[in-house]
Chain A
Amino acid sequence: MAILISFDIDGTLEFGDPPGGITLEMVKRAQDLGFLIGSCSDRFPSAQKSLWEARDIQVDFVAAKHMLPDIRQRFEADIYVHIGDRDLDRQLAEQAGFQFLWDHEGEAEPWLEWVK
């Protein structure tokens, strides 16, 4: 089963500003399971790429958060998930056909159950 997870950065990831609860370990675990991962955030795409590279993570995509529909079009997956910390993140995710998880819900790594 192909799963794509898009992470918001600020307020969601541990290296965001403010820091969120999703750790790099969680991201790496998802990547090790073969998930497509990347970020859709209000940071410039080039800045998002630098943030990941600085942490030695090769992501599949970076995009502005309102470009979630474009990510869905570019990548074939069975489940599309966006994790964020704002009502707006939820709205953009749902409008783009993504499941939405709040940052604190993501901390429990529910996708580990999905692949069992």
Chain B
Amino acid sequence: MPKQSPIPDELDKPFYDACNEERLVVQYCPACSRYQFPPRNACGGCLNPGIQWKQVSGRGRIQSRVVVYDTPVSVLIPDQPFNVATIALEEEPEIIMLSHLPGTPVEQVPIGAQVEVIFETTPATGQKIPEWRVVS
């Protein structure tokens, strides 16, 4: 599904640069061993400004899902209905990312199933973004 292209900013440029190299990184606080995404200027747990980017395994689990029938995003309307699932990262299940679960039909989302990251090119700018597919 062709998505809008994200425009990186100063804060999240390392994330999107890594996506273009097909690596998944999220922020990590070495002071309190806490992962976080979306990125912030400091750790949301201990406020440590010395936050780092850390590559993660790219494995996760489907936590929940909806089937979208009425999206506000114009470019996605032709693809309705479509899945949007929450993916809990293996390293930290409270880190949630979203996915259309390419290849998984609506109403057939296997809750709890293992997924792995893939990288999808967005048409407008060519920026790559993380997507997830079920590990068969």
A and B interact physically: yes
Q: Is A91 an interface residue (CB 8 A)?
A: yes
Q: Is A77 an interface residue (CB 8 A)?
A: no
What is the interface residue range for chain B against chain A?
A: under 10
CB distance from A97 to the nearest CB of B (A): 17
CA distance A91 to B69 in the complex (A): 10
CB distance from B45 to the nearest CB of A (A): 41
Q: Which residues from chain A contact B78 at a C-beta distance below 8 Å? A: 91
CA distance A88 to B70 in the complex (A): 7
CB distance from A45 to the nearest CB of B (A): 19
Residues 47-91 of chain B, each 1 if its beta carbon lies under 8 Å from chain A, else 0? 000000000000000000000011000100110100000000000
Q: Which residues from chain B contact A91 at a C-beta distance below 8 Å? A: 77-78, 80
Q: Which residues from chain A contact B69 at a C-beta distance below 8 Å? A: 66
Residues 29-69 of chain A, each 1 if its beta carbon lies under 8 Å from chain B, else 0? 00000000000000000000000000000000000001000
Residues 86-97 of chain A, each 1 if its beta carbon lies under 8 Å from chain B, else 0? 011001000000
Q: Which residues of A pack against B, CB within 8 Å?
A: 66, 87-88, 91
9 residue pairs A–B, Cβ–Cβ below 8 Å? A66-B69, A87-B74, A87-B77, A88-B70, A88-B77, A88-B80, A91-B77, A91-B78, A91-B80
